[in-house]
Amino acid sequence: MRRLGLVLLLSCMLAACSPQYNWRSVAVGDGAVMAFFPDKPQSEVRSMSFDGHELSFSMTSVSVGDTLFAVAYAPLPDAMRNDTDLRQRFARSVMTSLYQNLGQPVPDGLPAYGKTFVVEGTPQSEPVRLQASVWLTEYVLAEGLIMGPASSFPQAEADEFLRGIKPAE
């Protein structure tokens, strides 16, 4: 009985120290991407231009404590769907911006699509960690992002979030 009490006490202490995660499956971009978010997300859409092509870029995100979990999604216009080089340049520019936004040099070889990568930087006063993955298909560019303080980055939850992102083919 004493052992059970100790286990319950430790469980309560751990629960009090960690953020609340309430995982749920969410369709992003009218179902073009499925994601597993740690709480109820909000979505925003903005227009952007790339190489003379207008795109609708949506971001669905939620913050848990100081950490942001987000899925960004951009359906590609017909002209980009039919131009492999243009799609590749767009995806590379998106990946490049993740490094630049954290003040880091862009590596010579960017990560492969669908592979997780990490960027750490100090855009403000505290070191920040960004863990991301970018997917590119003929129809869509999608990215999963987790960004938070490097000192308290929730690695297990970040891995779970990225594993739960499934872009439609």
Kindly report, residue by residue over 97-111, the tens digit of the pLDDT. 999 999 999 999 999
**Residue 4 counted as domain residue:** no
Residue 12 is encoded by which pair of tokens? 């309560």
**Residue 56, H or E segment:** strand 53-64
Residue 24's SS3 state is strand
CATH of the domain at 92: 3.40.1000
Determine the pLDDT at residue 1. 43
Range of the domain at 120: 22-167
Ramachandran bin of 22, using left for φ above 0, alpha for ψ from -120 to 50, beta for the remaining angles: beta
Determine the pLDDT at residue 169. 66
Look up the pTM and report it: 0.85
User: How many angstroms separate the CA atoms of 57 and 29, rounded?
Assistant: 9
**Residue 45 counted as domain residue:** yes
**Residue 48 counted as domain residue:** yes
Number of independent structural domains in the chain: 1
Q: Are strands 53-64 and 117-121 parallel, antiparallel or unpaired?
A: unpaired
Tell me the chain's radius of gyration from C-alpha atoms. Answer: 18
Q: Listing from the earlier edge strand, what are the strands of the sheet with 24-28?
A: 24-28, 33-37, 166-167
Looking at the chain, the whole-number percentage of residues with pLDDT higher than 90 is: 79
Kindly report, residue by residue over 94-151, the tens digit of the pLDDT. 999 999 999 999 999 999 999 999 999 988 889 999 999 999 999 999 999 999 999 9
**Residue 32 counted as domain residue:** yes
User: How many angstroms separate the CA atoms of 65 and 46, rounded?
Assistant: 25
Q: What is the DSSP letter of 104?
A: -
**Residue 31 counted as domain residue:** yes
**Residue 9 counted as domain residue:** no
Ramachandran bin of 12, using left for φ above 0, alpha for ψ from -120 to 50, beta for the remaining angles: alpha
**Residue 142 counted as domain residue:** yes
**Residue 110 counted as domain residue:** yes
User: How many angstroms separate the CA atoms of 49 and 90, rounded?
Assistant: 10
User: How many angstroms separate the CA atoms of 126 and 109, rounded?
Assistant: 27
